[in-house]
């Protein structure tokens, strides 16, 4: 026999902090647009002991990590978007319930997916793993409710002349950013869309209405166009 070669030192991996359902990492949910992106990894991840979801299509061999989120109040649909992953197949499973009594809600291996019929304000769990647990590395994803086009605010008219007025408004502070704004001016009390005196589309937050009649009261409406 030869003499012993070595030593060669190595350090065993530490499981990720979100290695189990009970230690799931909180993932933010954006309203109408992607929330803060979450980057995770499966290096050192173990088998959480939770049976694979029936809707899953990938082979489960351990190495799963967990995330949790609360569905925003008033919302029932979640959009999942994966922007990066070293996995050959990234399996995502969605559950409601509690860690001791999980209820399968859906699965996806796609880069984008929508989960519908969720409960407003309820807590959910995402389980993510690689097919066969063969690829070790990171992935990045984000969660949001469906894109929503919110109303502009703080409508105002300035430099009002007998036949024209400069109109302005503020952009919405949530949801999908508008690409343009539709505006219209009608005689006061007519209601939106009735007896339009002037109208148009603006890329910014201002417009000039013309063709007005002197000493006449008007109402001004504006609408976000989110494309």
d(CA 226, CA 150): 9
Show pLDDT as tens, one digit a residue, over the chain (227 residues). Answer: 999 999 999 888 899 999 999 999 999 999 888 879 999 999 999 999 999 999 999 999 999 999 999 999 999 999 999 999 999 999 999 999 999 999 999 999 999 999 999 999 999 999 999 999 999 999 999 999 998 888 999 999 999 999 999 999 999 987 788 999 999 999 999 999 999 999 999 999 999 999 999 999 999 999 999 88
DSSP state letter for 205: S
d(CA 115, CA 71): 11
d(CA 130, CA 64): 8
pLDDT computed for residue 34 by the predictor: 86
pLDDT computed for residue 32 by the predictor: 84
Q: b/e string for 53-88 if b means 16 or more Cβ within 10 A?
A: beebebebeebbbbbbbebbeebeebbbbbeebebe
Predicted TM-score (pTM) of the model is 0.71
User: How many other C-beta atoms are found inside a 10 Å radius of the C-beta of residue 213?
Assistant: 10
pLDDT computed for residue 46 by the predictor: 97
Alpha helices (runs of H) in the chain, residue ranges in sequence order: none
Question: How far apart are the two ends of the chain, measured CA to CA in Å?
Answer: 76
Domains of the chain: residue spans and CATH: 21-144 (2.60.120), 153-225 (2.60.40.10)
> Phi and psi (nearest 5°) for 82?
-100, 120
pLDDT computed for residue 12 by the predictor: 84
Dihedral (C-alpha) 184, 188, 194, 200: value to the nearest 10 degrees?
Answer: -10
List the one residue out of 113, 114, 15, 117 whose CA is nearest residue 66.
15
Q: Are 48 and 94 in contact (CB under 8 A)?
A: no
Which pair of tokens denotes residue 107?
């699965």
Burial-class residue 206 by CB neighbours within 10 Å (0-12, 13-18, 19+): middle
């Amino acid at each position: 026999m030869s003499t012993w070669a070595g030593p060669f030192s190595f350090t065993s991996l530490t499981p990720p902090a979100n290695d189990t359902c009970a230690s799931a990492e909180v993932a933010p949910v954006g309203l109408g647009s992607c929330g803060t992106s979450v980057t995770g990894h499966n290096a050192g991840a173990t088998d959480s002991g939770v049976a694979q979801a029936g809707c899953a299509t990938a082979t489960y061999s351990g190495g799963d990590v967990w995330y949790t989120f609360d569905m925003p109040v008033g919302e029932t649909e979640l959009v999942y978007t994966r922007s990066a992953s070293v996995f050959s197949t990234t399996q995502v499973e969605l559950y409601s319930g509690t860690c001791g009594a999980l209820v399968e809600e859906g699965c996806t291996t796609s880069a984008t997916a929508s989960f519908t019929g969720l409960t407003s304000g309820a807590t959910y769990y995402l389980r993510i793993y690689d097919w066969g647990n063969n690829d070790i590395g990171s992935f990045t994803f984000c969660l949001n409710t469906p894109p929503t086009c919110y109303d502009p605010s703080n409508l105002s008219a300035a430099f009002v002349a007998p036949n024209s007025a400069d109109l302005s408004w503020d952009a919405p502070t949530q949801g999908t950013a508008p690409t343009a704004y539709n505006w219209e001016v009608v005689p006061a009390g007519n209601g939106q869309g009735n007896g339009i005196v002037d109208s148009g589309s603006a890329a910014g937050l201002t417009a000039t209405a013309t063709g007005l009649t002197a000493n006449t009261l008007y109402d001004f409406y504006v609408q976000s166009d989110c494309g």
